[in-house]
């Protein structure tokens, strides 16, 4: 092949003789297409490979300068759903829900606390903030959200026994009351104390009934005041007459007084 080329070049006139196809000449020289070693590429091919290389996209703002986008796990496993349902039930069923800060307590103290509170029908519930916060934010208890920060426990009960709860909690320094939601009313610590000082429902009802019934109870005495006054005056008069006339017969005087009625 090389000899043919040399002959063509050294021949007379132009080196491109008729019938000499350059493509065939390229095929005869060198190795086959598939080789064990890395076959050297033609320079034009090398240039083509260099030109057609991959260029990665370069956005105007590099992604590391942007705030990191958190890939939220949308798995929502059944355990989380169960816990959320439990929290919703707690908020629905109980009348009084008190949120307390919980500092670590010794185990036996915790058991004793639970026991005392159980006697007053108050339950102690441990909740995880990451579950309670979404539940609350979608319910009507949005204003309780700032309380669910750091470790806390819930004291829940059906009746609102704030006085007993405060008494028990006073004896436990590790639990601090943050706030409460009693009968769908959000109260602060002060509000809970005030609520505890209030008389019980029956007493309050009795007081209200008494206050309302005060005026009607006076009505009958008001109406009878005139005749009662007269009766009293007459009685007094009779007694004076009796005291004055000890010897005279008492018949006409009582007859007179009974006739006067």
Partner 1 sequence: RPRSEPPLCPPGPGGVVVPRAGLKKYVMPPDYSGIVFPEKTKLKFMDKVPAVPKVRREPRQLRDIRGPSREATDFTQGQYGILALGGGYLHWGHFEMIRLTIGRNMDTKTMFAIWRVPAPSKPVTRKSLGHRMGGGKGPIDHYVTAVKSGRLVVEVGGRCEFGEVKPFLTQVAKKLPFPAVAISRDGLQQMRQEEEEKRLNNQNPWTFERVVTANMLGMRKYLSPYDLRLKGRYWGKFFLKHRV
| Binding residues for partner 1 (CB under 8 A) | 23, 32-36, 38-39, 41-42, 44-45, 48-49, 51-58, 77, 79-80, 83, 128-131, 149-151
Interior/surface letters 241-250, b for 16+ CB within 10 angstroms, e for the rest: eeeeeeeeee
Shortest reach from residue 25's CB to partner 1, in Å: 12
Shortest reach from residue 106's CB to partner 1, in Å: 20
245, two tokens: 């006339």
| Residue among 77 and 190 whose Cβ is closer to partner 1 | 77
The sheet carrying 122-126 orders its strands as 122-126, 152-157, 96-102, 175-182, 185-188
Q: Which residues contact 93 (CB under 8 A, 6 or more apart)?
A: 158
| Residue among 66 and 73 whose Cβ is closer to partner 1 | 73
64, two tokens: 């590391």
| Residue among 109 and 130 whose Cβ is closer to partner 1 | 130
| Residue among 150 and 209 whose Cβ is closer to partner 1 | 150
Tokens 């505890």, residue located: 196
201, two tokens: 């429902």
Shortest reach from residue 104's CB to partner 1, in Å: 13
Shortest reach from residue 53's CB to partner 1, in Å: 7
C-alpha 215: how far from chain center: 47
| Residue among 10 and 72 whose Cβ is closer to partner 1 | 72
Shortest reach from residue 38's CB to partner 1, in Å: 7
- From residue 58, how far is each of 3, 50, 51, 63 by CA, in Å? 53, 19, 18, 10
| Residue among 130 and 235 whose Cβ is closer to partner 1 | 130
> Which helix (H) or strand (E) is 172 found in, with range?
none
C-alpha 68: how far from chain center: 27
First to last CA, the chain: 161
């Amino acid at each position: 092949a090389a000899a043919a080329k040399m002959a063509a070049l050294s021949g007379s006139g132009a080196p491109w003789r008729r019938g000499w196809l350059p493509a065939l000449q390229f095929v005869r020289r060198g190795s086959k297409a598939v080789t064990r070693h890395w076959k050297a590429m033609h320079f034009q091919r090398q240039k083509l490979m260099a030109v057609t290389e991959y260029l990665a996209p370069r956005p105007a703002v590099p992604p590391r300068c942007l705030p990191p986008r958190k890939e939220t796990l949308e798995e929502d496993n059944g355990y989380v759903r169960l816990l959320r349902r439990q929290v919703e039930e707690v908020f629905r069923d109980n009348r009084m829900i008190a949120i307390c800060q919980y500092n670590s307590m010794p185990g036996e103290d915790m058991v004793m606390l639970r026991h005392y509170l159980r006697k007053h029908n108050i339950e102690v519930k441990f909740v995880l903030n990451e579950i309670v916060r979404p539940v609350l934010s979608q319910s009507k208890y949005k204003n309780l959200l700032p309380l669910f920060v750091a470790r806390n426990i819930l004291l829940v009960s059906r009746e609102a026994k704030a006085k007993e709860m405060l008494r028990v909690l006073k004896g436990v320094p590790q639990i601090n009351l943050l706030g409460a939601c009693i009968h769908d009313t959000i109260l602060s610590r002060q509000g809970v104390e005030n609520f505890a000082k209030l008389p019980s429902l029956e007493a309050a009802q009795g007081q209200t009934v008494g206050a309302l019934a005060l005026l009607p109870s006076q009505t009958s005495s008001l109406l009878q005041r005139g005749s009662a006054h007269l009766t009293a005056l007459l009685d007094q008069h009779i007694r004076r007459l009796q005291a004055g006339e000890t010897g005279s017969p008492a018949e006409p005087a009582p007859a007179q007084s009974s006739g006067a009625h």
